[in-house]
């Protein structure tokens, strides 16, 4: 089948080409899929989208009109896709339901450790041959109380690393994970977790019930010197409230791999023209805040698994089959 893949990163392209060689005809584009770029897919029965695609009703209508039958998203999250519109248009939609949870959990800990030990500031100073320790005082992770919000596969991996550091584990989720209980985790109500934790890491999906889960009230409950890490979805955190919290001198560290208005900004080079998002611009100026560009998943292992799953989704579509990754079965008549 002929496939048009949008939002392909430079490091991702050779892995895609290797996987699809001799299997399907593949064309890759660096641009993201949205209403402006959807017409490029005319004549392609399959498009593959990245997590930053805007697959609203308008985009989906253009894809369907151009002959696309399958949207194969190369991510687990699908909150960027209007599934109801896809169903009405007869489109099949598939995602990647699983890839290495270690990739995201390890990156979350990378952010936590970096902001705790002021590594960004230290590295910047070293480049200028300033080797003072002023302002670089961190804390031992050992002995901290770590709050894990969302204890699924990624949250469990994060908790296992936390246990290795010798921390007290608190968890919050709609269901308790037996593996986390075996690690010694105590489940608590969210306000209690936020008030007690020295480090809070978010690992829940973005659904209406979790939108702005960390709002001004939640931030006010956290310790003044707590660390907040979000490697899940940007919409979990009220970013404007976070700016106000940090500006007021609260939270000793914030690590963000996601941002609620990241679409059109993350995965792009804005070093020349800058950005018009005042909230993001403020966040990156705070010395205790570290922002990375939605790269937690970006390991060779995880990306390889994502591409393999995407190829299988396309194989099954071509054969008239669905699988566990199918979100909308589409109209196959």
Catalytic residue (choose from 12, 156, 260, 262): 262
Sheet holding 253-256, edge to edge: 186-187, 168-172, 145-149, 199-202, 227-230, 253-256, 289-291
- Do 197 and 223 meet the contact criterion of CB atoms below 8 Å apart? yes
Catalytic residue (choose from 12, 233, 260, 321): 233
Q: Count CB atoms within 10 A of the CB of residue 321.
A: 12
Could you tell me the two tokens for 323? 């699988």
Q: Count CB atoms within 10 A of the CB of residue 226.
A: 23
How far from 220 is each of 13, 84, 171, 248, CA to CA, in Å?
44, 37, 19, 11
Residue with tokens 């990245």: 50
Could you tell me the two tokens for 306? 């994502």
Catalytic residue (choose from 74, 95, 196, 294): 294
Half-sphere exposure of 122 (CA within 13 A, CB side): 13
Residue 224 burial class via C-beta count within 10 angstroms: exposed 0-12, middle 13-18, buried 19 and up: exposed
Any catalytic annotation for residue 107?
no
β-pair type (227-230, 2-5): unpaired
Q: What would the 3-class secondary structure string for 119-136 be?
A: HHHHHHHHHCCCCCCCCC
Residue 20 burial class via C-beta count within 10 angstroms: exposed 0-12, middle 13-18, buried 19 and up: buried
Any catalytic annotation for residue 262?
yes
Q: Which residues are catalytic?
A: 233, 262, 294
């Amino acid at each position: 089948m002929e496939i048009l893949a949008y939002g392909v990163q430079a490091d991702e392209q050779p892995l895609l080409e290797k996987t699809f060689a001799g299997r399907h005809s593949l064309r890759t584009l660096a641009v993201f899929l949205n209403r402006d770029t959807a017409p490029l897919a005319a004549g392609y029965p399959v498009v593959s989208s990245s997590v930053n695609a805007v697959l609203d009703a308008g985009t989906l209508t253009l894809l369907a009109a151009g002959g696309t039958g399958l949207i194969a998203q190369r991510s687990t999250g699908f909150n960027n896709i209007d599934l109801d519109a896809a169903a009405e248009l007869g489109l099949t939609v598939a995602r990647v339901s699983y890839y290495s949870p270690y990739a995201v959990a390890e990156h979350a800990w990378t952010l936590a450790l970096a902001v705790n030990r002021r590594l960004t500031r230290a590295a910047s100073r070293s480049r200028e041959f300033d080797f003072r320790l002023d302002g670089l005082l961190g804390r031992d992770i050992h002995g901290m109380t770590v709050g894990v919000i969302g204890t699924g596969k990624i949250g469990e991996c994060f908790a296992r690393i936390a246990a290795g550091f010798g921390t007290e584990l608190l968890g919050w989720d709609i269901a308790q994970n037996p593996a986390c209980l075996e690690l010694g985790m105590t489940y608590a109500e969210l306000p209690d977790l936020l008030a007690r934790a020295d480090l809070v890491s978010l690992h829940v999906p973005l659904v209406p019930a979790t939108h702005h889960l960390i709002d001004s009230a939640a931030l006010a409950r956290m310790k003044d010197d707590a660390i907040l890490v979000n490697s899940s979805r940007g919409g979990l955190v009220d970013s404007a409230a976070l700016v106000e919290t940090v500006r007021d001198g609260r939270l000793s560290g914030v690590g963000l791999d996601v941002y609620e208005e990241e679409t059109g900004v993350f995965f792009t080079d804005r070093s020349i023209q800058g950005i018009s998002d005042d909230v993001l611009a403020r966040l990156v100026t705070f010395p205790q805040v570290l922002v990375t560009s939605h790269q937690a998943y970006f390991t060779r292992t995880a990306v390889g698994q994502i591409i393999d799953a995407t190829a299988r989704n396309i194989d099954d579509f071509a054969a008239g089959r669905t699988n566990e990754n199918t979100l909308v079965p589409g109209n196959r008549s």
